[in-house]
Amino acid sequence: MMMRKSANTILLLVAVAFCYGLQVSKPRYGDLIGPIPARGKLGDTVVGRGFEVHAEKIEFARKLTVDQYGQSKVLTTGGVWAVVTVEFAARAQSTVVSVASWRGPTGLTYDQTERLSFMNGLLPVALDPGLPRKARLIFELRPDEVSNATLLVSEKLVAALDSQAEISLGPVTVAADGLPAGTVDMLDMAQPL
């Protein structure tokens, strides 16, 4: 009788532990229906369901010059500008890639800047099968969010159950002035891609 009682107690404890384990390891709803990552590095071609993206290079700058209605305009920043040149391709059907963000090493996530929204070659880009297109993704960042960052690209803002390209951009050395090494003073966004 005593034996049976203790066996039952042990069984109950095991069941409690098991249920607790299930509870803590349970994925959240947001994870279950969230974007499906397609991972790669700078220079790789990352293949998602509807599009492919190839990040060619990253440039850092203190200022950007842009052409607005025929006038040259200089955009300054308290942080640093990061300009990623990418090539997009549609897969089986025409699509539009509209969202890109920069996730820093601490998890801070920066959306594309909207300060250049009038410029050509920014997202959203319409893609047709067989006709790859280059685009610029421009971010305004804190200098300490530059190294070991991840570039996130998806077709729609809510990429639920759809591909999201996750491109790791690797380490970036920091120069004496706190900005990434190789930061130029001025980048001309009017240059063709």
Where does this chain bind another protein (CB under 8 A)? 92-94, 126, 128-131, 133
CB-nearer residue toward another protein: 13 or 131: 131
Backbone φ and ψ of 115, nearest 5°: -75, -10
Q: Which is nearer to another protein, 133 or 142 (by Cβ)? A: 133
Bridge partners, 141 (sequence order): 80
90 with 51: CB under 8 angstroms? yes
Q: CB of 140: closest distance to another protein in angstroms?
A: 28
CB of 127 to another protein, least distance (A): 10
Tokens found for residue 39:
């991972």
State which residue, 73 or 134, has the beta carbon closest to another protein: 134
CB of 191 to another protein, least distance (A): 17
- Matching residue, tokens 């996750």: 166
Shortest reach from residue 147's CB to another protein, in Å: 35
State which residue, 74 or 92, has the beta carbon closest to another protein: 92
- The answer to whether 180 and 173 have CB atoms below 8 angstroms apart is yes
Tokens of 162: 């759809």
**Contact (Cβ atoms closer than 8 angstroms) between residue 136 and residue 124:** no
